[in-house]
Amino acid sequence: MSEQRSMNGAEWLAQALAGTGMTHVFFVESVLRRTLLALGDLGVTPVLAHSEKAAAYMADGYARIRRRPGVCMAQSVGAANLASGLQDAWLGRTPVIALTGRKEPSFQHRNAYQEIAHAPLFAAVTKFSTPVDTTAELPRLLRHAWRAALAETPRPTHLDFCGLQGDVIELGQTAEPTVIDPEARQIPAHRPVAASAEIERAAAALTAAQRVAIVAGDGAAASEAGPELLALAESLAAPVATTLGARGIIPTRHRLSAGVAGSYSAPPANRIVHGAELVLFVGCDTGDQVTLNWRVPAPGTPVVQIDANPSELGRSYPNTTGLLGDPKATLAALAQAIGRPVRDAGYAEEAARIVADWRATMAPLIESAGAPPRVERLCAEVTRALPSDAILVADTGYSGIWTGTMVELDGAGQTYLRAAGSLGWSFPASLGAKCAAPGRPVVCFTGDGGFYYHLAELETARRCGIAVIVIVNNNSGFGQNLTGVRRIAGNRPSRGEELVRFGPTDFTTVARSFGVRGIRVERAAEIAPALGEALRAGEPVVVDVVTDLEPRAPEPWAPVRP
Ligand SMILES: Cc1ncc(C[n+]2csc(CCOP(=O)(O)OP(=O)(O)O)c2C)c(N)n1
């Protein structure tokens, strides 16, 4: 074996990152300059963003598509902005590795310009965060940051390099092999299968119940468990609801698909899940969003739960039979144990009827013509236009609800990514997603309120040739919040509205000023041609769809309070 030559830390870091197959890193100047130059020499593109938060969101979108760590970087004064951008990666369970610079020890505790303590900033949004004080420590700490980010549950990690720009690694030498992860693992890094006694117990509970609903979560999507999920659902005649993040894990128009459950849902999913005798959670965090504040399923409902993280088992529903294992591998084992039992299809048929009835009520809105266009029609046109290998990146709030309830996905080649809660996430995240999969069409769906956050990244998209399509649901306000502000404003509804209305902005003019193509849509009939043109363009395009603030997105069904 040839001996590794000694090199400085910048060279080592660049070679190690390039060696993982990484194609892009995301940063704001001034940090790790020699590393960035060396990365460029090795064919890894450094993408200069306009804010650290956007750089973190880009790395997040990149990592979600590659299913491997994404890297973002910022200097000392940018660290707080970078940390705030990791919130969505933390909540969305993405392996983002943040690299920052921190002033050297002689500057500490004496009012250093531009710097606050970094450790508390990263504590809430990383599972591992450590200073790097010497080049000799860099290989070990980066390998651990990588391993920890990928390990169950995937989440961000952070290395804080000594020196404002991370200078320490340029000073020392290392002869360590430039390898971070010899196994080149993707999420999920491991696929443990639940113990056979647990599987037998769960199989018995599932076959004894006649009305079983499945709720598949982000962990099931990360495990790519769609085919196994559908096979088990067929065996049990069990309708399948999902979290927003697992939208499209099975074909959304499948007769067993109940839609997204919880607070970002259309009425059918909650009714169906609430009507179950037993619920099977698969890779699902059982948090407030998917359970409508733990009302769906009702407390006390018997649960079987598959999760790769033991601390999730029974977290929200005490009456749980837990299966510790990777969702895909464990579902396959469970399906084998269950075989093909004789099932009463009554519950599945009832669920399909509930979905069909709701779809029928939406049909007139989906087919609506005229101006301003209805968002239901926009979503139907997105469904029609979305290529079979497309990535749809949705912002939070109504953008999540509209796309999660009204855009249909094929459950095969299409991928759905959604903000885990941070308004404005989707546009920079879509840029990262496109960097990870340049050959796939990437469509971002955002409200104008979300798009305003990171408009400057239109310049990045053009400069770096990142050809995403941004559909702006431009209703001149925070549409989702209208109901709430009116309610508290009582007999002064217009005062409430003032809190959430913006002036009218033409985002095509904004886009053009950045050198980006803009297509304005003011009538329903213009949507399809605009999406067609955008998909053919091969360059970044903003499709600015002028809509009305008033229409409400679908609302969840809620059980009557006892
Ligand atoms: C960082 C952050 N700030 C505030 C919110 C609260 N919030 C959620 S949705 C929303 C309004 C979204 O407006 P817009 O993007 O225009 O979409 P619309 O609801 O009009 O479709 C707000 C303010 C949030 N989720 N994240």
Query: Are the CB atoms for 383 and 527 separated by under 8 Å?
Result: no
Q: What is the pLDDT of residue 561?
A: 83
450 C-beta closer than 6 A to ligand 1: yes
Give the residue whose CA is nearest to atom 17 of ligand 1.
447
CA-nearest residue, atom 5 of ligand 1:
423
- Give the pLDDT band of residue 3 (cuts 50, 70, 90): low
User: Is the CB of 448 inside a 6 Å radius of any atom of ligand 1?
Assistant: yes
Cα–ligand 1 centroid distance for 470 (angstroms) = 17
Secondary structure of 104-161 in HEC code, one letter for each residue? CHHHCCCCCCCCCCCHHHHHCCCCEEEEECCHHHHHHHHHHHHHHHHCCCCCCEEEEE
Per-residue tokens: 67: 């299913």
Ligand 1 center to 478 CA (angstroms):
6
- On whether the CB atoms of residues 428 and 454 are closer than 8 A, the answer is yes
- Mean pLDDT, rounded, of the chain: 97
Q: Ligand 1 centroid to 542 CA: how many Å?
A: 19
CA dist 437 and 66 (Å) reads: 8
Q: What is the pLDDT of residues 31-40, one digit of tens each?
A: 999 999 999 9
User: Which numbered atom of ligand 1 lies nearest the CA of 450?
Assistant: 15
Determine the distance separating the centroid of ligand 1 and the alpha carbon of 453, expressed in angstroms.
10
Q: What is the Cα–Cα distance from 434 to 454, expressed in whole angstroms?
A: 16
| Cα gap 554→124, rounded to integer Å | 33
* C-alpha to C-alpha distance for 468 and 450, rounded to whole angstroms: 16
Paired with 208 in beta bridges are: none
User: What is the number of the ligand 1 atom nearest to the C-alpha of 423?
Assistant: 26
Phi and psi at residue 129, in whole multiples of 5°? -145, 130
Q: How many whole angstroms from 283 Cα to the centroid of ligand 1?
A: 27
**Ligand 1 atom 2 nearest Cα:** 423
Rounded Cα–Cα distance for residues 422 and 448 (Å): 14
Share of the chain above pLDDT 90, in %: 98
pLDDT tens digit sequence for 443-457: 999 999 999 999 999
Closest ligand 1 atom to residue 549 Cα is: 20
User: Residue 142's closest CA among 305, 313, 13?
Assistant: 13
| Cis preceding linkage at 372, omega within 30 | yes
Whole-angstrom distance, CA of residue 29 vs CA of residue 31: 5
- Could you tell me if the CB of 447 is within 6 A of ligand 1? yes
Distance CA 77, CA 15 (A): 27
Q: Does 157 sit in the ligand 1 pocket, CB within 6 Å? A: no
Answer yes or no: is pLDDT of 1 > 50. no
Ligand 1 centroid–CA 442 distance in Å is 22
For residue 403, report the distance from its CA to the centre of ligand 1, in Å: 15
Q: Is the CB of 243 under 6 A from ligand 1?
A: no
Residue 2's pLDDT band (cuts 50, 70, 90): low
Which residue has a Cα nearest atom 23 of ligand 1? 478
User: pLDDT for 274-291, tens place per residue?
Assistant: 999 999 999 999 999 999
Q: Does the beta carbon of 85 sit less than 6 angstroms from any atom of ligand 1?
A: no
CA distance 125 to 248: 27
Would the CB of 422 count as within 6 Å of ligand 1? Answer: yes
Q: Which atom of ligand 1 is nearest to the CA of 475?
A: 20
Which pTM was predicted?
A: 0.98
- Distance CA(497)–CA(382), nearest Å, equals 29
Within 437-549, residue ranges assigned H as helices are 448-453, 457-464, 482-489, 493-498, 507-513, 527-537
SS3 per-residue string spanning 329-363 = HHHHHHHHHHCCCCCCCHHHHHHHHHHHHHHHHHH
Among 452, 478, 482, the mutation site with the greatest number of ligand 1 atoms within 8 A of its Cβ is: 478
Q: Average pLDDT in the 8-18 region?
A: 98
pLDDT digits (tens, 9 = 90+) for 91-147: 999 999 999 999 999 999 999 999 999 999 999 999 999 999 999 999 999 999 999
Atom 13 in ligand 1: residue holding the nearest Cα: 478
The finding on whether 479 has its CB within 6 A of some atom of ligand 1 is yes
The runs of H, that is alpha helices, within 209-325 are: 218-222, 226-236, 267-274, 288-291
d(Cα 130, Cα 199) in Å, to the nearest integer?
A: 39
Ligand 1 atom 6: residue of nearest CA:
423
Q: Is the CB of 421 under 6 A from ligand 1?
A: yes
What are the tens digits of pLDDT across the range 367-379?
A: 999 899 999 999 9
What residue owns the CA closest to ligand 1's atom 24?
Answer: 423
How far, in Å, from the CA of 266 to the mean position of ligand 1? 19
Beta-strand relationship, 173-174 and 7-8: antiparallel
How many whole angstroms from 350 Cα to the centroid of ligand 1? 35
Placement of tokens 């239901």 in the chain: 376
Instruction: Report the pLDDT value the prediction gives residue 450, as an integer from 0 to 100.
Output: 98
Residue 407 Cα to ligand 1 midpoint, Å, equals: 19
| Residue 451 alpha carbon, nearest atom of ligand 1 | 15
Give 426 Cα–ligand 1 centroid separation in angstroms: 12
Q: pLDDT by residue (tens digit) across 144-190? A: 999 999 999 999 999 999 999 999 998 899 999 999 999 999 999 99
Ligand 1 in reach of 245 Cβ (< 6 A): no
Is residue 483 a contact partner of residue 401, using CB atoms and an 8 Å limit?
Answer: no
pLDDT of 205-217, one tens digit each? 999 999 999 999 9
User: Is 480 touching ligand 1 by the criterion CB < 6 Å?
Assistant: yes
Euclidean distance between CA atoms 165 and 162, whole angstroms: 8
Judge whether residue 46 has pLDDT over 60.
Answer: yes
Atom of ligand 1 nearest to the CA of 553: 21
Rounded-to-integer distance, Cα 403 and Cα 414, Å: 13
Residues 6+ apart with CB under 8 A from 120: none
